[in-house]
Amino acid sequence: MAAIQDHAYVKICAELASLLGISLASARRRVDQTAAKEGTRDPIRRRELAQQMLDEASRDSDTSERLDELLSSTEGDGNFLLED
C-alpha cells in the first residue's frame, strides 16, 4: 500500500514544479536530493526546504524570459532550422 502523503508538502512541490516548468516527480526529487545532501529525513524539514526552494524560484521569476531568449534564433545563426 502506498504511504500517506503530506498534503502541504505535495502542494508546495506542485507549485515549485509549475513555476519551474517541470513535473511534480522532478520537483519532489529535487527537494529529496537537497534533503539527502543535508542529511535530514524529517518531513517537516523537507517541507521547509521545499518552501525555501519555492521562494528562491519565485524571486528568480525571469526564468521563462531567459528560456525564451535562449530559444529565439538570431539572424546570424545559419544552421538553425525553423521548419522541418
CA angle 81, 83, 84 (to 5 degrees): 95
Residue linked to cell 520537483: 27
The model carries a pTM of: 0.67
- Closest of 1, 17, 11, 9 to residue 43, by C-alpha: 9
Q: Tell me, what's the pLDDT at 1?
A: 43
* Residues in the chain, pLDDT under 50: 1-2
